[in-house]
Amino acid sequence: MTNNPFKVYAQENRAFEKPLFFFHVVAQGGVHSSRPRNLEAQYGKNNYRIYLVGSDSANDLIKDVLNQHSRVKNDVDYLSLHQLLSSKLWSNKVTYSELLMHSVDLGLSKEEVISSYIRMSRTDSDLFPDFIQLITDDSKHEFTNTILDSYLGSQWHVPILCSMLCGVSEDNDKSDHWSSMLVEWQRNNAYMPMITPSFGLSRDYDEFILGCAPQLICLCVVLSSNKGEFQSDLIEALEESLDKVGICWAGLNTAIYLLHISAALELSTTYKKAKFYLEEFKDISETNIYEPPSVVSVMEGEFDDYFNHGNGLAIPSMESFAISCVKQYQNNSCDLESLVLKALDDDSYIYEWSNDLLGSLWTRIANKAFKRN
């Protein structure tokens, strides 16, 4: 052991460039051995450490390596680091969640922190509290470091994250804060609300409003655990969509999700509006009302691609509809952590999420409303 530092420090600096950081890792040996202390006394005047693996110093080892790494590079692969530190080799020696957050505190790969934590949390729920803390901090800077690749994550992460933070907050003032932030995001765009049926602006936006916005709004209602006041703003956007599109198949997706959301939240006026719309259309199967599509393309698809024909439609009262839905979805509750992480990270999820959305709506949101009554 004692000869190794000489290989570095005894040579002339013209022949051998001295490292920024030099250390020994002691894999085994007596706990009370004097050798590590003697080494530190001999070489401690240099940038030098000794780490005894098997003791608490393993955490210090990784932290110091990251500190030195940050002096020469400002990035790190969080996914690979997590995979390494949570492996059998290191998991019982270090607190990997602490070390990952240490990398964050060093400012390494700032723009990849949030997206990395979303992906890591999908397979490691122990990291979810840190994810909550990270997006809470980023919200103070208008989510500038929340840079995601997925469709929902890149375009609509603000309402998703705000509604989730509203739901997980145990303090009413905090829930109101996140609800207000979502309302401000929705209302304070320069020209129009963020989610609104301003048809004709672009093909993609029209597709979103009619084919995906109802599901997104359902997601936000579910994630909020029915806290806050933002729901009325988003539900209003669904009502306006029905008014503008008129009675046609393109409005069915909106009407069906408005029906479910209204019944779960016990909003009789909007329930009647959605009920009237669907009964006026008539030619749709009752099955589609209880089991709506996950996403609809009104530009490229047709009615037969998403719905089945029916012979007239009679939708029950809000109370009867709610009872039927609670019974149908009673075993389909989805873990909310999984729901939000997949929505933010997985582009394919919007093609299969209707059962998770409605299962969570009817088992979590509706049941709370019924219990209050």
pLDDT band at 188, cuts 50/70/90? confident
Least confident of 19-33, 57-71, 76-90: 19-33
In the chain, the amino acid numbered 292 is P
**3-state SS class at 118:** helix
* Whether 286 and 331 share a structural domain: yes
* Whether 130 and 251 share a structural domain: no
pLDDT in tens, 308-317: 999 888 999 9
CB 145 within 8 Å of CB 107: no
Q: Transcribe 150-211 into DSSP letters.
A: SHHHHHHHHHHHHHHHHHH--SHHHHHHHHHHHHHHHH-SSSS-SS---TTS-HHHHHHHHH
* Whether 219 and 337 share a structural domain: yes
> Whole-angstrom Cα distance, residue 226 to residue 336?
13
The DSSP bridge pattern shows strands 22-26 and 48-52 to be parallel
Does the pLDDT at position 365 exceed 70? Answer: yes
Which of residues 124, 140, 156 is at a domain's end?
A: 140
pLDDT band at 18, cuts 50/70/90? low
How many domains, in total, are found in the chain?
3
* Whether 105 and 134 share a structural domain: yes
Does the pLDDT at position 47 exceed 60? Answer: no
* Whether 212 and 347 share a structural domain: yes
* Whether 204 and 351 share a structural domain: yes
pLDDT for the residue 51: 75
Least confident of 35-44, 209-218, 351-360: 35-44
**3-state SS class at 314:** coil
Does the pLDDT at position 241 exceed 90? Answer: yes
pLDDT for the residue 278: 97
Which of residues 106, 140, 174 is at a domain's end?
A: 140
Q: What is the mean pLDDT of residues 315-337?
A: 94
pLDDT for the residue 2: 47
Which of residues 10, 36, 54 is at a domain's end?
A: 54
* Whether 135 and 270 share a structural domain: no
Does the pLDDT at position 373 exceed 60? Answer: no
> Whole-angstrom Cα distance, residue 224 to residue 360?
11
Does the pLDDT at position 13 exceed 80? Answer: no
pTM, to two decimals: 0.88
> Average pLDDT, whole number, for the chain?
90
* Whether 38 and 86 share a structural domain: no
Q: Which residues, other chains included, contact 222 with Cβ-Cβ below 8 Å and sequence gap of 6+?
A: 336, 339, 357, 360, 361, 364, 365
pLDDT for the residue 213: 98
Does the pLDDT at position 4 exceed 90? Answer: no
pLDDT for the residue 52: 72
The gap from C-alpha 130 to its chain's centroid, in whole angstroms, comes to 12
Of 44, 112, 40, 49, the closest CA to residue 81 belongs to 112
Of 348, 342, 246, 345, the closest CA to residue 298 belongs to 246
pLDDT for the residue 155: 95
Does the pLDDT at position 293 exceed 60? Answer: yes
**3-state SS class at 13:** coil
41 or 177: whose pLDDT is higher? 177
pLDDT for the residue 327: 95
Question: Percentage of the chain with pLDDT > 70?
Answer: 84
DSSP 55: B
DSSP 363: I
* Whether 172 and 277 share a structural domain: yes
Does the pLDDT at position 1 exceed 50? Answer: no
* Whether 323 and 199 share a structural domain: yes
Report H helices in the chain: 3-9, 35-43, 57-72, 78-85, 96-105, 113-123, 128-139, 151-168, 172-187, 203-211, 213-223, 231-245, 252-265, 268-281, 286-290, 303-306, 318-329, 336-345, 354-360, 366-372
pLDDT for the residue 17: 55
* Whether 99 and 162 share a structural domain: no
pLDDT in tens, 24-42: 666 665 666 666 667 666 6
61 or 223: whose pLDDT is higher? 223
* Whether 222 and 195 share a structural domain: yes
Q: Provide the residue range defining the domain that includes 195.
A: 148-371
